[in-house]
Structure 1
Amino acid sequence: MTVAAWLALVVFLGAYTLIATEKVHRVAAALGGAGVMLLIHATGAEAAFFSPSTGIDWNVIFLLLGMMVIVGVLKQTGVFEYLAIWAAKRARGRPFRLMVLLVVITALASALLDNVTTVLLVAPVTFLVCERLASPVAPFLIAEAMASNIGGTATLVGDPPNIIIASRGGLTFNDFLIHLAPLIVVLLAVFIGLCRVMFRKTFRYDPDRAAEIMALNEREAIADRRLLWQSLVVLAVVLAAFVLHPVLHYEPSVVAILGAGTLVAVTKVTAEDAIREVEWPTLVFFAGLFVMVGALVETGVIAQVSRAAVEATQGRLELATIGLLWVSGVLSAVVDNIPYVATMSPIVADLVHANGGDKVLWWALALGADLGGNATAVGAAANVVVLGIAARNRVPISFWQFTKYGLVVTSVTIALCVPYLWLRYLV
């Protein structure tokens, strides 16, 4: 590697260490790392702010901003209180049943929406229902973030890396459903079992609290019915536009901003109230992280590491598939899986061509990159958003609190992918 590549790697590892150890605030670490990358010319203004492959992903930033505004308006209607009471009553006040319900809802929603939008919608409900049941909220939020990443793996639109893979590999929405959705159903069931073990101390049933919940009328929680209907119509149009992206060709970020602007324009909600719920520290953290990872791409660090791993398995499809699965899982736990997949996809395309067009390598890349995002607190966008929401609500989740569970979930789910890929495609 070049001197610039080594320097970029040292800066990234230093910033990542600060984030992981929480010696300084993660926003300060990300911004500081980004600043140093620019200072040592590992990246420049053009590459950091305007390049689609090595710069800040403004689509992600504005998607988050738009959806945060919509969620902020929805919060004023009382609909999240309604959903919290409804969910708690369906679970009959039992915390584990509630977690299963929220995990399944999150995973299914993430298969149709992007996983970040899903956690933005589910998190407010989680805070309210856990408060009602006097249950710690952190385990529920962690489980939902992981469920969103697992569920999003099942479809083309569920996780951004899948869109990149579909474009490079010529894959359709139905291809993802046929090849990945059956496995994701199994992984989700296994994940629920892991939640029962990992968070077992959380599931303390309080009969008195449960009786209070069952006596509540969720309809009384709605504070503004007119605003609720206006918000739901806008949200429905936004979600429909997400699903119809292959037909409409509007980026999710454009749809989210249009939806947020429309909602503020047609309702009595003021601009100040609309942006009050925006997680500005989370957006800034993402910007810094994108610049740092972009510098690794710009200096060739990610490409060199990926190429070395692929070259070691050339000519052996079985080894290439399983190796790509695990390497993708490990690297996606450390760097954002979007630039990783963007870097790896040309290499995988060449490998697929060299192996007679066998598409198992695309599925290995998708599974490794998507599921690997669960391993650490910064491995996937949904994880970062959940940590930001938790901090805003004064229930901070530390890097290692998330990661100690994430490493278990990622190891188990990726390990289960090995026999699936082997038996379905390689034997």
Structure 2
Amino acid sequence: MSHHHDAVTVIRAKRDGHALTAGQIDWIIEAYTRGEVHDEQMSALAMAILLRGMDRAEIARWTHAMIRTGERMDFRHLGTPTVDKHSTGGVGDKITLPLAPLVAACGAAVPQLSGRGLGHTGGTLDKLESIPGWRAALSNDEMLAQLHDVGAVICAAGSGLAPADKKLYALRDVTGTVESIALIASSIMSKKIAEGTSALVLDVKAGAGAFMKNLDDARELARTMVDLGNDSGVRTTALLTDMSTPLGLTAGNALEVRESVEVLQGGGPADIIELTLALAREMLDAVGITSVDPADALADGRAMDTWKQMVRAQGGDPDAELPTARATETITAPESGVLTHLDAMGVGIAAWRLGAGRQKLGDPVQAGAGVQWHVQVGDTINAGQPLITLHTDTPERFPAALAALDGAWSIGDSASRQVLVHERIA
């Protein structure tokens, strides 16, 4: 029987609503990674999965089939428990930057394998690359050495982890199949399980600027990933958090690093501090470190010391001036009142159009570009005060960015702040 015929059998099975067998899943992932199953066949299967779904056993098998296409890392001989955090992506979500050194300062090892930004959500590596000299690519040996010496590393995931996922991710992106909960969950978890961390905390976002617009979908995604992790021997929990309004006061690269450093210095916006501490407590709890309060490590400068070590270990200068954009444009408040609404998606698209993000993989990003807002939802502002400042090296981008912010904010009489952490899933 020809391989092409096998692929059609698998596609038809899912098209007609049947559960795929373990053998079908193992075969198709392996054959697709080798190039025997063609992109158009995998596209058809991805669409069938999007429309028909997969059950818990199928998703687990799919995830492990993707892991088996690559290498697995092993941190067991480190002597310190490892814990990682994954966010499903948002606007102004710089939490990884203060969080990794904070958790390391409290005694856990944090191997934070991160990615680059695509579209309106920023990438952690792009942010860090705005620090002069800092490099994202580390060998496995360098990563292990830094985990041992510093306790935290934020670096690019090696191409050896779940290569099937890399290939499938690119395909989903261009075939309208990104939104499948089964495919999102298996994509994220194949990389995290292959990474070999002993515990994982998920920050699953819901709201206008998130991947999942409504809470029920976000909850289903969180539940699916938590089950996948725990079934695979990775202690996994999730926080469902709000992404209807952007986090902190900035979206960009250097802008977000600057804000993260403020948090590590004991300042910074209240929402960033709240979420950083909530996730830190969750991560420390997952590896049994309960005697240390991360708020103390933030207040007394220990997290800041770890940040500086972490940046230096990857060639960066933590004391260097961060790049600033050549041009700025400010929107002032047309009236006095309270900021009642600031749309995360509008802000994210504006930052992207200013040059902070990329349209396709491999595009360069501007270190200084982005959006800064001077008040958060619930804050009072006076007419004529700066409301939003746009930053870019290419001022011809201002009109497109302003268009993205049109209708993205409003000033009224009163507004309550959004609840940041909706619930915990374990």
Task: Report the structure, 1 or 2, having the larger helix content.
Answer: 1
TM range (shorter): under 0.3
Compare relative contact order (CA 8 Å, sep 6+) and give the higher one, 1 or 2: 1
